[in-house]
A = this chain, B = another copy of it.
Amino acid sequence: MESGQKLATTIEAANQEAYRRVLAGDPILTDVRLAREAIEGLPDRTILHAGPPVTWDRMCGPMKSAVTAAIVFEKWAKDLGTAEEMAASGGIQFRPNHDFNAVGPMTGMTTPNMAVMIVENRTFGNRAFCTVNEGMGNVMRFGGNDQEVVDRLKWMADELGPVLGAALRHREGIPLKSLIARGLTMGDDMHMRNAACTGLILREWAPALAQTASVINELPRIYDFIAGNDMFFLNIAMATAKSMIAAAHGIDGSTVVTTMARNGTDFGIRLSSTGDSWFTAPAGVVSGLFFSGFSEADANPDLGDSCIVETVGLGGFAMAASPAVVGFVGAGTVAEAETYTRTMAEITIGPNPEWTIPALDMLGVPTGIDVRKVVESGIAPVINTAIAHHEPGRGQIGAGVARAPLACFEKALKGFDESVAKL
């Protein structure tokens, strides 16, 4: 076991290395493929889900509902009832997206025949995956499970995905780092607001789409699908964040948080130096604003892999960049939004000089959550998020600000201490 002073120096150096790697990332959106083609080692009859590992019996309502629809989509069962029996009787393997360098919003379903976007971190050569955003309304990520949901995913896999992928390959990818930098100056936080980046990436994508599309008469629907959804870019931001923070995973002695994710039952985090261990606590309730007719009593606990964006300084950490989000999530005034960002600076390694916020005189977004700082200060990471109804298939009912449970960080620090005690 190292001496206290020496250990502190080791941790400091390790965290600086983690920070350096996140900043050095060069995420490029390179392709859209079926998950079974893109994700190496993806087993058959397996459903990837959001958050830390969870068994069928502990899954929240929306996730159970999404699972049954995903089984029908994959034609592993002919209807929702049979699908539920199959899921409950162990006929399906459930694994976290994060086990496969993937991420998914809300329920986060990823199955072999869904289209996934591939973001490659060119600096380090690693890749991250995320399904294509389904749009708003009745969608699988909120537990939607009817034929409309399944048909849309089928169209996305058969028609949309190949066209998107061909255009990306034609133009050799779309660089995302500068695009996100620009989005931050245009009011996006990249979690609850992706309006600017959706426009920016459509500008990049549109010419190549027109040039390479094999099914010309699908083009209007494809443009409409992208252009009509302010949150289209969210899934790209998530894969971007995953590709960047993954490069900082596996550094001995680092206390930087490389995963935050929720499955609607548990909230889990992982640290750079503690391998695949999850440190979990019950997922909390999100405080925010509810759509007309709904209240906190209808809300599912915090859900989804989307908070991966907060690990690289976006979302709630970049709230000051996004005055429009402040109102949407009920976070108070624009001035209060700035406080969120400044407070997150206290629990992170440093700012990202390439991702800056005009309203804070070009301060960089706070990057690299240090589990020690979280535990010492008692300041929990803030997450901008959507709120799902706790009943299956009811969809989004609001948006708000969640706090990652401090218990996860306390357990993680204990786990870290135990791991260094063995050295």
A interface residues with partner B (beta carbon < 8 Å): 182, 185-187, 195-196, 198-200, 202-204, 206-211, 216, 219-224, 226-228, 323-324, 333-334, 358-359, 361
Contacts and interface: CB of A to CB of B under 8 A. Distances in A.
B195 A186 contact: yes
Contact of A323 (B185, B199, B224, B323): B185
A182 B186 CA distance: 10
A interface majority secondary structure: helix
| Stoichiometry, copies per complex | 2
Which of A198, A334, A358, A361 gathers most chain B CB within 10 Å? A358
A210 B207 contact: no
A319 to B, nearest CB: 12
A320 to B, nearest CB: 11
B220 A203 contact: no
9 contacts: A185-B187, A185-B324, A195-B200, A203-B227, A206-B227, A207-B228, A209-B223, A210-B220, A333-B361
Contacts of A222: 210
Give 10 closest A-B pairs by Cβ, nearest first.
Answer: A199-B199, A323-B358, A203-B227, A207-B224, A210-B219, A211-B220, A206-B223, A186-B186, A207-B223, A210-B220
Contact of A202 (B203, B208, B210): B203
Nearest to A333: B361
Nearest to A356: B323
Contact of A210 (B203, B210, B333, B358): B210
A220 B226 CA distance: 17
Q: Which of A204, A210, A228, A358 is the most central at the interface, judged by chain B CB atoms within 10 Å of its CB?
A: A210
A198 to B, nearest CB: 7
A404 to B, nearest CB: 27
Contacts of A224: 206-207
Contacts of A207: 220-221, 223-224, 227-228
A228 B361 CA distance: 28
Nearest to A323: B358
Contacts of A182: 195
Contacts of A219: 210-211, 219
A333 B359 CA distance: 11
A235 B192 CA distance: 31
A410 B165 CA distance: 61
Contacts of A185: 187, 323-324
Contacts of A210: 210, 219-220, 222-223
Nearest to A221: B207
Contacts of A208: 220
A203 B198 contact: yes
A131 to B, nearest CB: 21
Contacts of A323: 185, 358-359
Given A206-B224, A334-B359, 20 more contacts: A185-B324, A186-B195, A186-B196, A187-B187, A198-B199, A198-B203, A199-B203, A202-B202, A202-B206, A203-B226, A203-B227, A203-B228, A204-B227, A206-B226, A207-B220, A207-B221, A207-B228, A211-B219, A211-B220, A219-B219
Nearest to A218: B210
A367 B206 CA distance: 36
Contacts of A358: 187, 323-324, 334
A219 B212 CA distance: 11
Q: Which one of A203, A333, A334, A359 has the highest number of Cβ atoms from chain B below 10 Å of its Cβ? A: A203
Nearest to A184: B187
A359 B202 CA distance: 27
A333 B210 CA distance: 41
Nearest to A208: B220
A195 to B, nearest CB: 7
A216 B334 CA distance: 46
A141 to B, nearest CB: 22
Contacts of A226: 203, 206
A196 B187 CA distance: 10
A216 B219 CA distance: 11
